[in-house]
Each structure stands twice: as structure tokens, then as C-alpha cells.
Structure 1
Amino acid sequence: MKNPFLNITFLILTVFCSYISLAQAEKEIAPPYNIKTISFVQNDQNIIPILKLGEGFQLQFDDLFGNEANYYYEIIHCDYNWNPTAIPKNEYLEGFDNQRIQDYSNSFNTLQIYSHYKLAIPNQFTLQLKISGNYMIKVLDENKEVVFSRKFILYEDLVTVPIQVKRARTVNNIESKQNLDFTIRSNTITFQTPLRNVKVLLLQNGQMNTGIKNIVPQYTIGNDLIYKYDWETQFWAGNEFLFFENKDIRAANNNIARVDFSSAVYGSYLYTSAARANFPYSFTQDVNGNFVVNNLNTANNEIEADYAWVYFSLSAPTFRLNKNIYVTGMFNNYTMSPEYKMEYNPKKAIYEKAILIKQGFANFEYKVADEKGVIDYENAIDGNFYQTENDYTIVVYYRENIDRYDRVVGKGIANSINIIN
């Protein structure tokens, strides 16, 4: 005679294992060629999408087909490791998603046509995001297939995170790395088993896909959690971002050598960059990877700024690695795809790449990575210098023993301009 208890147990385990297999970590999906200039916007400025719970923001992007296509959006709540949580959608979202993006307009007086889309959160359908945590927003086409996706984080202001940026604690990297010492403090939370329940995410210049994770408190003093590691919280310092400015698309502006008028859209040829790894550090003002859309001669940059082919060129005669060089920045979400991979020109003995970018001002950098996208920081084209000015963000997650999701209870920010030994 079959045991009904065993049948029920087997059924429960089967359902549980099925859920685990389906709940794979969410990864950002890079957009197709026709989708450009994706940005999170708050107060008319591009931002790193780490926002206080309750604050409004916009997701904006352009479609170069310019045919007023229908796009929809979906919002997914995730845990610390970006796995979708089992929380029902009505518990983290008031209203509905899977709605069509209705705020769009076509470009005006531009050589490159495009449709500009704006998705405001909250809006008339999605009234509120109710809990903190990691979120993934997906933009879907008419067939409900994902066109692209982006991560964002909502936090509660329940902890403070004082941070000190120091030179590396390890002798071999003292000239090339920066280390973060920090403390997590709260007057409202009494941390339960912090070694297990408190997690952190350390970010350099807001780059979510290259953050440092899974660092536990080194020790506690009362309710203060202390992190003073020598190795685990170090970042390669990199070098200052490069930049160009073509807000007047018909003229050679900052770092633009010449302008080409012969193609369907304007071409902005940048001066050839020299690999800076073997040169002394030199400070240049940057915005740590950000970009600004700007047409000097218009009033509405969203639809009147044009696109231009930006021609990047790099002289790196000592580069001998069997790896690729990519042009990255916030303008392309630091994506290392074939669209941004440089090609070697043996006649000129330089690396080249042409990228279609919306006019204005943009920071960029050259990154070395293998075919799988694994970044080689140690052999960076422009080197690593402890003096480099970087922004750092520490995001704090906390999950009490009875909680069903990882709350984001605060964040700390620091800049390396006042780095100490």
C-alpha cells in the first residue's frame, strides 16, 4: 500500500525544486542597435539608479527606427543576489505594470530620426513601489519579448555609513588600489545576527555589475558594525575618465579634432588617445562616467539633440594581451558587446571604433576584457593610480529572521579626493 504522506512530500519537493530552478538571477539585457541613450533621470539629470524609497524618477530612451513602436514595462522585485523574490506583486507594487509606455515624441529638426520615450515612476498605472530592495525594470515589445532591462535600487534611510577611502593596505598594490573602511550604524535597528542578516554592496562610480559583495562585518562595537579589511574591500583605482563634447555638432569642440559633414549624420573625430598606463598620473576634471545630452542651439534636448558618429582612436603600442579593448561609460551602461569593441588598424597602428552617440558631453574609458566580458583591471590601458578621483557607494541590506525579503536600509557615499594613507 502506498504511503500518502510520501506522495505529498514528493509533490512539495517537486514544486519547491521547480521554483528554485525557475528563480534564476536576473541579468541586465543589453538593448538592440536601435535603442540608444537609456538613462534614469531625476530632476532633469542622469543619475545612478539608487533612490530613496518614495522618490520619483524616469526611465528614458530613444528608438532610432522612429516609428512610434509600442513598448511595455515590467517591474520585478529581487533579493540581494538579484533572484526574483517570491513576494506577490501587489505587496511591492501599488497599481499595475505590464502597461504601454504612453509618453513618447518624435525627434524634431534632426538628421537622425528617433522616437523618444519617457516612463515615469510613479505614474497613473504604477502608483507606488511600496518596499525597498533590488529591482529590475524590463522594457518589452508588442510580443512581450524583452527589449532591454536595467537594475535599480530603492533604499530606506535607517542607517548611516561613514566611509574612509584609504590607499591599499597591501604593499604590492599601494600605488594602484583604493580601500574602503566603513561602519554601519543605526539608532532604529537592533541588528539580529549581523554576520548572516546584514549584507553590503560596494560600488565604484555606480557600476552595479562590478561591485564587491558578500563582505561580513569584521567585528561589532555595541550596535555598530565595523569593516576594516585589508584586501576584501579594495578597488583598482583606475585613471580619470576621458571625455568629449559636441554640443555644437558642426564645430570641433573639446577633444574633437575635426567634423565630417559627408555622411548621413555628422561625424565627430576625436583626437587619438595615448595609453596612459606608463605615464605619470595627471588630474583632469571628470564626472566619473556620466554623460549629458545637450544641443547648444535648441530648447528641448530630449527630441532636438541629434546623433553623431563618434570616432574613437587609441594608440597602445605596448598592448600585447590576447584580449579585447572596449569603449565604455554610462552612455552605454558600460556594456562590453561587439558594438563597442575596438578594431586594430595595422596601417595606422592604432585601435579604432565608431559609435553612434547622442550629442552633448560624455565621459568614457577604455576597458580590457576577454571574450566572456571578464575585465582585466591589472592591465588597464590607462593604468591604476591611487590618486584617481572616484565616487564610492555602499548599499546596506538587512533581513531579519522573520523577513521574506532583503530590505535596503541605507547607503553611504564617499569620494577619494581626500584619500588618506
Structure 2
Amino acid sequence: MKQNIKYTIFLFLFSLLGFSQIQELNPPDYIKTITFKGNTPETQLPILKLGEYVILEFDALNGDEADFYYKIDHFNYDWTPSALMKSEFLDGFDNQRIRNYENSYNTYQIYSHYKLTIPNAQTKRLKVSGNYMLSIYNNDDALVFSRKFMIYEDKVNVGVNIKRTRNIEFIEEKQRVDIIVSSESMQFNNPKQTVKALIVQNNNLNTAISNLKPLYTIGNKLIYKYDNETSFWGGNEYLYFENKDVRAANTGIQFIDLKDLYHNYLFTNVERINKPYTYNPDINGNYVITNVDADNPNIESDYVWMHFSLLGSDYLKDKTVHIYGNFNNYAIDESTKMTYNAAENIFTNTLLLKQGFYNYKYIVVNNDYTFDEGAISGNYYQTENNYKVIIYYRDLGARYDKIIGIGEGNSVNISN
């Protein structure tokens, strides 16, 4: 509760000052399985066309059938509050109660499943493109959690090409994103000042490259062909497990046990950093809720204690290791921290997760909360990664940053 109160004050001060960057707030322990998507199967970081809908779903495990409310705010490209009044970007009202919820059925863990769709009868339309934050509040008007999303206008063509880095030092480990922005109907005024690009790898804003300016222009084309500025670590394919049948050991699960809830014990993983790259199809850190016996997985899928384990090494035993993935919006906190057992030379942790198919990996987190995603898994230029490029534009004299186009590329066919 103290964290939420502090965050609300924090957000209020940001809106007054108008220059500080806002961050998402992660939920308390009783809020689980937040899925946030547009009209694609991908969860988290919805990027939708102006006029399309966005869906937020989450579970409350306290069994109180509590009331939750939502608010929507608009932001500039750098996630500072925009100058727009709410009536300028929203048709209708926010600060409304989420009316659509159902209680779990035939599960050991009791929970309520909430679903919010925007637009709806109260919030009829989001009028402009740009960055948005959807914030969820409880009955006491305390902020519970928040999530970012983006709305774009289809005004420019965004060509995306994935190549190996030109930096010989990292040619086996990094991937480079080349971008060409063009439009037949739109004239760019002073593009080095008015146009900015954001590159997101695997829907993860934590590692996004922002505020990119065009390297040069050819006619009405903006060219981004940097050597280092648009390079990402390749990482490695995610590990995965599936427990859609909670009563049997499925993919990646060594054995199961039933106590107060089901417990699934995963096979012990090992470091992959010094091993050759092996293609292992994944869903780029994402997850999908599934249940082999359910008509409605949203309320019939149970919660399971998942037991993770990682074999230690001389390098790792003095490091801080965390479990990493989109199952919690790539958050790093005490719940994802692994505990080292020196007697067995193994790192362990247990997470309460809803039945489904999950991607995850292990990362090393430094004392300053920077992290090394490749320290355990390695970095390989061959790794299949998804990249989204988001183009922002603020014309001279304009009061907010539009998103005028998006492009998407994949490194599955990476070239030199």
C-alpha cells in the first residue's frame, strides 16, 4: 500500500513538472497473469492502429471480488506527460469500474478474472495517436498497477531489415536494425528534430533503443543505417515449459506433486554461454494460458507452484541470478531472484504461475539493477528475435507526439 501511495504522489508530481519519465508500476502479489494485447495473439505492449481495441485481463487471487477502476493518460515519445487535456485525447470518460469479471471454476486456487476492453460504452474512443498509460486503481483510489500501450496512424511506410553488426568485436553476438521511412503523402519538416524512432526487441521496453534520429535523407526517405546505435545483443532462444495438463508431467517438467496446490518441478537447466548455438523454436519470451481439459481457460486454468533450478558454476556462485520473461512484464524483483544452495551447487526459485505455455531464461543482475541477459544464455547473431520500429513525429508548433507508422522485422533470415 505504501508503494502505491508513493507512486501516486510520484505520478502527480510528474504531471506537474512535465519533464520526468514515467515508469510502469508492477502489481502486488495477489494480482497475477496480466495479459495486455490488441488484435494480435501477443501479450504485453499492445501497439494498435487508431480506432482498434485493446484488451486487459488479470486475476485477483484474494477472493474478494474487489472493485477495480481504470484511468488513461497520454504521454510524449519519451514518456513525459503530454500537454493534451483528457478531453483532447479521449471521447467519453475514464475512472470507470471494470464491470466484466468472473470467478474461477473447479480450481484449487480461488481467483477472480477481470477483463477490460477499450473502447467501451463509457470510454468510447481514443482520439489521437501516441503513447498511453492504462492505470488500474482499487476501491480506495490507490494505484494497483499500470501498463503502457501505443496507438499509431498509418501515414508512413517503415522498412525494417535485420543484419549482423558491422563491429568486428561483436559480429558473432549482435544484430543490427536498418530502417527506411518513406511517405508519398507526408512531407517531413526538419526531420532530425521532428522525427524520432524507437526500436523494441521482443516487446521488451527495458532493452529498447529510443530517440533515434535519421542518419541522412534521400528525397522524402529517412535512412537509419547506423553501425552501433541500432545494434542489439542477439541473446539466445528462450527456455520453455508447458503444463496444460496439471496432473501429468508435460514438456520441460520432471515431476509433479499435489499439496495445497499442484507443484511442478522443472528439469535443472545449465549455462549455455559457452555452447554452440542451437535453434530452439520459442515465442520470444511470451506466454499463453492453456488448459487441455477446459472450455474457458481464463477461469478454469489453475495456479501451480513452478520450481525452477539452475546448475551453479564458479562464475555464477557469486552472482545475483533472476528468472526473466514476459510472464511478469520482464520485471526484476525479489520474487524472481534465485537462491543459491552451495551444498548442492544449484540455484532455485519457486513462482506461482497459471497453467499454460511459458518462455523464460536466466539473467545476471548487477548491484545497480542493470542486467546481463547473455551472461548465462549467451549471445548469438543467429538467434531468432522480433523487432518493432515505432516512428514518432511532432510537427513544428504541435503539442504532442504522433506515432505515424510502425514496421516489423525478424532476424530469422538475418543477412551480413
Which category of TM-score, normalised to the shorter sequence, fits these structures? over 0.9
Q: Deviations over 1:117-168 (max 9, x none)?
A: 0011011110011100000110001111110000101111111111111111
SS in 2 for 1:247: coil
Structure 1 residue 25 and structure 2 residue 43: aligned? no
Tell me the equivalent position of 1:233.
Answer: 230
Q: Shift of residue 237 of structure 1?
A: 0.3
Q: Shift of residue 24 of structure 1?
A: 2.9
Tell me the equivalent position of 1:265.
Answer: 261
Pick the aligned partner of 2:95 from 91, 94, 98: 98
Identical-residue share of aligned pairs (%): 48
Structure 1 residue 295 and structure 2 residue 291: aligned? yes
Tell me the equivalent position of 2:389.
Answer: 394
Q: Shift of residue 293 of structure 1?
A: 0.5
Q: Is the 8 A contact 1:323 1:371 kept in 2?
A: no
SS in 1 for 2:376: coil
Pick the aligned partner of 1:350 from 329, 332, 346: 346
SS in 2 for 1:210: strand
Size of the aligned set, in residue pairs, is 403
Q: Deviations over 1:9-50 (max 9, x none)?
A: xxxxxxxx9976365321100100000000113458343411
Structure 1 residue 185 and structure 2 residue 195: aligned? no
SS in 1 for 2:20: coil
CA distance in 1, matches of 2:90, 2:147: 17
1:149-298 equivalences under 5 Å are 149-261=146-258, 263-298=259-294
CA distance in 2, matches of 1:382, 1:374: 16
- After TM superposition, the structure 1 stretch with the greater mean CA deviation from structure 2, 301-310 or 43-52, is 43-52
Q: TM-score, normalised by structure 2?
A: 0.94
CA distance in 1, matches of 2:29, 2:221: 48
Q: Deviations over 1:285-325 (max 9, x none)?
A: 10111111011101000100000000111113143485421
Distance 1:42 1:203, change over 3 A: closer
SS in 1 for 2:400: coil
Distance 1:376 1:190, change over 3 A: same
Q: Deviations over 1:171-214 (max 9, x none)?
A: 11000000011111111210010001000110100101220012
Q: Deviations over 1:95-138 (max 9, x none)?
A: 00011111111000000000000011011110011100000110
Q: Is the 8 A contact 1:250 1:259 kept in 2?
A: yes
Structure 1, unmatched stretches of 5+, are 1-16
Q: Which has the larger radius of gyration?
A: 1
CA distance in 2, matches of 1:186, 1:43: 25
Pick the aligned partner of 2:309 from 290, 310, 313: 313
Q: Deviations over 1:202-247 (max 9, x none)?
A: 0100101220012211100001000111111000000001100000
Q: Is the 8 A contact 2:39 2:53 kept in 1?
A: no
CA distance in 2, matches of 1:414, 1:250: 39
Distance 1:291 1:306, change over 3 A: same
Structure 1 residue 414 and structure 2 residue 409: aligned? yes
Q: TM-score, normalised by structure 1?
A: 0.93
For 1:291, the aligned partner's letter is: Y
CA distance in 1, matches of 2:269, 2:351: 16
Q: Is the 8 A contact 1:238 1:380 kept in 2?
A: no
Q: Shift of residue 376 of structure 1?
A: 2.1
Distance 1:231 1:362, change over 3 A: same
SS in 1 for 2:272: coil
